Amino acid sequence: MNNRPLYWFPLGILAVIAGLTFWLQFVVQSPRANIFSKDRHIADYIIEQFSVSRTNLAGQLIYTLHADHAEHFLDDDTTTLLKPHLIAHDDHQGSADVRAKQGFVTAKGKEVDFIGNVVLVRDAHDEQGPLTLTTEYLVAIPDARVVRTNKLVHVVGKSIQMTAGGLELDNQTRILRLTNKVKARYEPIK
């Protein structure tokens, strides 16, 4: 009987292990090995029909952020949004409702950037009525209840129409600051 296959079998297994070892060393040292490292901007999770809410200590709703699609990135802790919709709730000052084509949430959710066909409607509970703002870019700071832009903005209210090169709206103090090439038409409320 021929015993040569018994000798070749262990040698074959050693050759396969050696080949796998060389392959593994090549893969680990190649430039593509860092595809999932912290230096790469790759989404670590994706959410469809994204929704998040924030409440105060009494459990009252402060704001809600919705989006059709959200992608979170681990390297810089940011999130991109498709069709974001932010609703800031305030029983006394009125709510603010912001919508856009795209959005971007900074690390820890401190700011939300709205990009493309941005529409903000501030539903005031007073004689001035609602205020509608349209622009191409808007930064919202939900915890401070402030929105601002440095792009062309159109503001329309019950008795006023304005355009400006930028603005800042503080929903708590109800102060609207317009900057750069401001044009306004005001009709007193009767």
3-state secondary structure of 131: strand
How many Å apart are CA 76 and CA 166, to the nearest integer? 28
Instruction: Give the per-residue pLDDT at 15.
Output: 80
pTM: 0.72
Kindly give, in sequence order, each residue whose CB lies less than 8 Å from that of residue 71, ignoring residues fewer than 6 positions away.
43, 45, 46, 47, 79, 80
CA distances from 126 to 68, 120, 158, 165 (A): 33, 18, 11, 27
- The phi and psi torsions of 171 (rounded to 5 degrees) equal -75, -20
User: Where do we find the tokens 């005001």?
Assistant: 186
Contacts of 118 (CB under 8 A, 6+ apart): 98, 99, 100, 133, 134, 135, 136, 137, 138, 149
Nearest to residue 107, comparing CAs of 75, 61, 149, 62? 75
pLDDT in tens, the chain (190 residues): 566 666 677 777 878 888 888 787 777 776 554 555 556 677 788 889 988 888 888 888 888 889 999 988 887 888 889 999 988 877 666 678 899 999 998 888 789 899 999 999 887 656 667 888 999 999 988 888 888 999 999 988 888 888 999 989 887 787 888 888 888 888 776 6
What is the C-alpha separation between 53 and 58, in angstroms, rounded? Answer: 14
pLDDT of the residue at 116: 93
How many whole angstroms separate alpha carbon 46 and alpha carbon 57? 29
Burial of 21 (0-12, 13-18, 19+ CB in 10 A): exposed
Q: What is the pLDDT of residue 101?
A: 95
The CA distance from 132 to 179, in Å, is 17
The pLDDT value given to residue 38: 53
Phi–psi pair at 37, nearest 5 degrees: -75, 170
